[in-house]
Amino acid sequence: MTGLSTTEQAQINISLGAVVVSNYLSYLTMGLGSLSPAWSYFSNFPADRWWFKALVILCVSMCIGDTIATGMWTYDWTVTNYGNPAALTLMHWALPAEAFFLATCGLAVQLFYAWRLWIMSLRNNWILPVVIGCLSILGWSILCWSAYTLAVHKFISDFTLLLPVVYIWLGSSVGADVLITGSMIYYLDLRFRIKPEFPSGVSANWFLHRRLRKLIVRTVECNLLSLFVQAIAVGLFSCLSVGFYFVIPDMTIAKVYTFSLLISLNCRHSDNVHGTSEGGFGSSRGGDAKLNALVAFPTTQISVHIQRESTVNWQEEMKGIQC
């Protein structure tokens, strides 16, 4: 290190420091945002639908691959090639691999939310899920193309060629998350405020609304996390003087998406005794049946006066989505 100039030393500090900090956050979010809630999911819902399990396995696998790749990248730069400025100018294979893992995980989670919003609208609102799906597929396609472009280029300075396209990906991804968050607020909260279905003096209904508030907070907070991370990414991409610190959101956003998926799945009611979950987002017992049916199908009119009719409608919808 003594033979390096001041400029080279500054380049190493701003590059290695950013990669090391990002890698620490990657491992942190991997444990807290992916592995821990995934363990809770498989423990509470061992008999859940196979495609829910496949979706969780896919997203967690993408996060594991992303974490391994960025960990090897950090080791190569900070240990194997430490003090070698020439190594910092070469494209590391982990960059295109990370882009693919991130794109695939984000696509899976956003399509899951698009499906859930379609079910929550009783399959009446197909325009919103289609828009979310198109934005998600656009973002995935852009990142896959970017991963290929990075893989065929030798120098890391060529990354600047992707900046205009990266902004398109950020715009499509942020747009999809904004639609998801706004729609979840509408279906889970605003509709009950505008058209209340329950008498105000019944304590059971107050408990139901309180449970809905808790679920809304969890869902919205999780979606806002992804929006927050992507907002940071936009700012860091716009400020080239920060060096490699733009990889902080890149190394963590796949875990944030997986955390969003797992929070949505873990918020459902589960029968820990028998290890089953009823109807995906529903339950079949007492007040919890009303809560979860409203969460999954908020337009179903469940009240004291039309409970029998709503139960039939709920069962029909459950048969439809289990096909």
> What pTM was computed for the model?
0.76
Q: Residues with Cβ < 8 Å from 44, sequence gap 6 or more?
A: 266, 270, 272, 277
Q: For 193-227, write each residue's pLDDT tens digit.
A: 555 544 455 555 666 666 666 666 565 555 677 77
Name the token pair of 205: 């209904």
* pLDDT of amino acid 190: 60
Q: For 38-51, write each residue's pLDDT tens digit.
A: 999 999 999 999 99
Question: What are phi and psi for residue 198, nearest 5 degrees?
Answer: -125, 145
CATH value of 8-273 in 1.10.860, 3.30.1380, 1.20.1070, 1.20.120: 1.20.1070
Q: For 221-265, write each residue's pLDDT tens digit.
A: 556 777 778 777 777 766 666 667 778 888 888 998 998 888 888
Amino acid identity, position 317: E
- Which residues face 199 on adjacent strands? none
Name the token pair of 226: 């992804």
The DSSP output letter for 306 is S
Q: Measure CA of the first residue to CA of the last residue in the chain; give whole Å.
A: 64
- Which residues face 90 on adjacent strands? 155
8 confidence band (pLDDT: 50, 70, 90)? low
